[in-house]
């Protein structure tokens, strides 16, 4: 005899607090996740994500798949250089005027050096409702990074300092990152394509959380060890 009891309509409220609060409680570590464009490498080879997709690594065996395009709002940027040649002593530097940063930048020009540099953005991604880092540390991502700059907030002071003409102050503007496939004689990979976002954001972050994430992003520690990622050539590296 089957039990057709319909419990849900007769039960009291099953949860105290908001969904956002419970999501915060369930976090293992409060760290900034990263947005990544997957092309080749370990995660693709293991079937965790298909090539040519955006994703957010959540652990060694889990990736949140975001699809072929992502809508983002950029809130801050910082320089970043990372030396992964020794995985036991990874070097991260955020001061592009320092000799260490310039050394990593020079080393990045050598094949398989394990060094990367470029602008790093604090973005808010629509579908996850999360703040993420988007690090443009490869040639193809650095080339597209400058297209994100106009979407950052622009103040009256910025306009005067940069001697800009014909522009008005504005809040951060949403943009979309699509994907294109690049094929050369010896290599092929997927690269980002930045375009204006045509759909307004309705789930913008609250101000308190935004200020916290911006302050943390713009005041990083001098160095640290961050988990692995795949570069555009499919090599597994730390972020």
Instruction: Give a yes or no: residue 18 inside a domain.
Output: no
Number of domains into which the chain is organized: 1
Instruction: Give a yes or no: residue 164 inside a domain.
Output: yes
Q: Report the alpha-carbon angle 127-132-133, nearest 5.
A: 140
pLDDT digits (tens, 9 = 90+) for 53-91: 999 999 888 999 999 999 999 999 999 999 998 888 899
Could you say which DSSP state residue 70 is in?
E
Domain range for 118 = 31-238
Instruction: Give a yes or no: residue 213 inside a domain.
Output: yes
Instruction: Give a yes or no: residue 20 inside a domain.
Output: no
Contact 97, 103 (CB under 8 A): no
Instruction: Give a yes or no: residue 7 inside a domain.
Output: no
Strand (E) or helix (H) holding 24: helix 19-25
Instruction: Give a yes or no: residue 175 inside a domain.
Output: yes
Instruction: Give a yes or no: residue 50 inside a domain.
Output: yes
pLDDT digits (tens, 9 = 90+) for 129-176: 999 999 999 999 999 999 999 999 999 999 999 999 999 999 999 999
pLDDT digits (tens, 9 = 90+) for 198-227: 999 999 999 999 999 999 999 987 654 554
Instruction: Give a yes or no: residue 8 inside a domain.
Output: no
Tell which wins on pLDDT, 193 or 224. 193
Specify the pTM: 0.81
């Amino acid at each position: 005899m089957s039990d057709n009891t319909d419990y849900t309509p007769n039960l009291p409220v099953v949860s105290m607090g908001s969904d956002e609060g419970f999501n915060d409680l369930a976090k293992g570590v409060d760290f900034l996740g990263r947005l990544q464009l997957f092309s080749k490498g370990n995660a693709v080879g293991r079937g965790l994500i298909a090539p040519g997709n955006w994703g957010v690594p959540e652990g060694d065996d889990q990736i949140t798949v975001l699809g072929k395009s992502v809508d983002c709002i950029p809130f801050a940027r910082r320089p970043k250089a990372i030396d992964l040649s020794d995985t036991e002593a990874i070097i991260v530097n955020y001061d592009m005027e320092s000799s260490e940063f310039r050394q990593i930048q020079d080393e990045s020009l050598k094949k398989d050096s394990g060094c990367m540099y470029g602008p790093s953005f604090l973005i808010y991604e629509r579908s996850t409702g999360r703040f993420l880092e988007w690090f443009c540390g490869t040639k193809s991502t650095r080339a597209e990074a400058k297209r994100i700059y106009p979407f950052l907030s622009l103040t009256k002071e910025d306009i005067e300092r940069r001697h800009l003409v014909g522009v008005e102050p504005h809040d951060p503007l949403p943009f979309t990152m699509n994907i294109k496939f690049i094929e050369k004689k010896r290599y092929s990979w997927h690269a980002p394509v930045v375009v204006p976002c045509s759909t307004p954001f309705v789930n913008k972050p609250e101000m308190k959380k935004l200020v916290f994430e911006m302050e943390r992003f713009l005041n990083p520690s001098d160095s640290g060890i961050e988990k692995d990622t795949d570069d555009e050539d499919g090599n597994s590296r730390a972020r």
